[in-house]
Structure formats: structure tokens, C-alpha cells
Homo-oligomer: A and B are copies of this chain.
Amino acid sequence: MTEKRVRPAKRNGPATRTEMTDRQFSLISKALAAPRRYEILAEISRRQCATPCTCLSETQPISPATLSHHMKELENAGLVRIERQGKFANLTLQRDVLRAYLDRLASL
């Protein structure tokens, strides 16, 4: 699980083209294939700042174990970043990565 993944662009100018490996493309496709994970993404995207895990727990009718699993999948695909602070975990949508994914699909 130690592979290159698309990370948020780092001051490369305004119109950065984020590259994406076939591997990550596939990971994202699979991550989006579970409706529950899309819901989680939707919830996260609704907020300005990072979304606390607990919020998701209130919205999604799933066990903590399952939520944790989905969070890991989304992080692994590069779609979210998880900041851990003490007991808490906060999720941020990685819009760069999502955009790179969409760009690739759009070029079909």
C-alpha cells in the first residue's frame, strides 16, 4: 500500500494538471461505486471546513466499524484527507483528486 498517489497540488501555479496513475483511477472508481461512500462524500462536500467523523456517524446509519472502513477506502483512493487530532478524525474532500478523475473520464 505504498504507492504514488495524487496529492493536493502544491503551489504549481493556478492551472495545475494533476496526474493520475491507472491504479489510482481504478481505486477511485471502486470507491465511488458504493452508494454509501458517495453519500459520505456528499456530506463532506457540503461543509466548508473539515468534517468530524462524528457528524458522519449521525448521518449514516452504519456501525462505527463500517464507517471507519469506508473512511479508509476513501482515503486510500485519495478522495479525502483524514486529519487525526487526539480522539477525533476530521475529513476533507480532496477536490484536486476528484477533478483529475473527472478530467480523465471526460476525455473518453
Contact = CB atoms under 8 A, between A and B. Distances in A.
A98 B105 contact: yes
A42 interface: yes
Interface residues of A, number: 20
Most central of A32, A45, A106, A108 by chain B CB within 10 Å: A108
Interface in A14-56: 22, 25-26, 29-30, 32-33, 35, 38, 41-42, 45
A102 interface: yes
A91 interface: no
Nearest to A103: B102
Nearest to A44: B108
B106 A102 contact: yes
25 contacts: A22-B35, A25-B38, A26-B35, A26-B38, A29-B29, A29-B32, A29-B33, A29-B35, A29-B38, A30-B33, A32-B32, A32-B33, A32-B105, A33-B33, A41-B108, A42-B108, A45-B108, A93-B108, A98-B105, A98-B106, A98-B108, A101-B105, A102-B102, A102-B105, A102-B106
